[in-house]
A and B are shown apart, each in its own frame.
Chain A
Amino acid sequence: MMPDLGDYAGAVLSAYAVSLGLIVGLVVLSLWRARRVRAALDKVERRGRRT
């Protein structure tokens, strides 16, 4: 299944690892911040409705 990457296996695999790692990290961080900010806004809006 794995293609024969020859002498350049290290270069090709590290390029994929770095890129996919950065993309996954960016997506996870974006989702995490979206959830955190939404929760913070809900909290402030609930507090505003009570007062």
Chain B
Amino acid sequence: MSLWEYANPVRFIRFTDRVLPPLAVLAVVCLVVGLIWGFFFTPDDYRQGSTVKIIYLHVPATLMAINAWLMMLVASIIWIVRRHHVSALAARAAAPVGATMTVIALATGAIWGQPMWGTWWAWDPRLTSFLILFLFYLGYMALWEAIENDDTAADLTSILCLVGSVFALLSRYAVNFWNQGLHQGASLSLDKEENVADVFYFPLLVCIAGFVLLFVALVFLRTQTEIRARRTRALIARERAA
């Protein structure tokens, strides 16, 4: 059984129809458990007080915002190299999910930043590259909508995705590159000294798992929708030509 078999739209829909319900249930369970655990059963931070509870939304949303774009990059490269329609449609399906995650990351960051930094926004390297990533998401979605021919749209959006990947990576590593600005380093680290305390870490891991599962479930559902929408357009075009 090869991964490429799922490039067949019928097989992809059959497979995702089977895995979507358990995936969605698991996502909801992880999100509910993680958020309740984090919100109700973790202590305040000694410096940041109760605002530390925002970490359970901010960090998973940020991770997903960056990784959604990287998933779109892989799907776009597959489209460019192998011309599988499902991969181009999966990239298209992931964009609104990634954009929503970016908005959540920016909004929760601003809400968290106001009491901690004394400002909603600063032109800090990480914040700025993240804002540019959000603009790339908007541009990517607009480009798909603007072009009538699906294959041309997939070609052009794939190129845009390649360019935007620079900002996706930059928003992850900006702090390391410039080592300046208001935003602190990564919350999650393999170095125990740098990583958040265990009391925050474990509920955070559950929330991250919930966000990842939610992302996968939504991308599966939305890719199915894009496949059906494409088939509808093709059938209507055939009717008109007849």
Contact = CB atoms under 8 A, between A and B. Distances in A.
Interface of A: 1, 3-9, 11-12, 14-16, 18-19, 22-23, 26-27, 30-31, 33-34, 37-38, 40-41, 44-45, 47-48
Contact of B222 (A3, A22, A30, A40): A30
Most buried by A among B35, B53, B96: B53
Given A22-B104, A41-B231, A15 B221 contact: no
Interface in B43-102: 44, 49-51, 53-54, 57-58, 61, 96-97, 100
Given A16-B57, A34-B225, A40 B40 contact: no
Interface string B210-237: 0000100010011011001101100110
Interface stretch (B111-119, B143-151, B155-163, B196-204): B111-119
Contacts of B50: 3-6, 8-9, 12
A38 B115 contact: no
Contacts, number: 93
B107 A19 contact: yes
B130 to A, nearest CB: 16
A27 B218 contact: yes
21 contacts: A8-B115, A9-B50, A11-B112, A15-B54, A15-B57, A15-B58, A16-B53, A18-B107, A19-B104, A22-B103, A22-B104, A22-B107, A23-B214, A31-B221, A33-B225, A34-B224, A37-B229, A38-B228, A41-B229, A44-B236, A48-B235
B108 interface: yes
Given A3-B39, A18-B108, A23-B104, A8 B51 contact: yes
A40 B228 CA distance: 9
Contacts of A30: 218, 221-222, 225
A31 to B, nearest CB: 7
Contacts of A1: 40
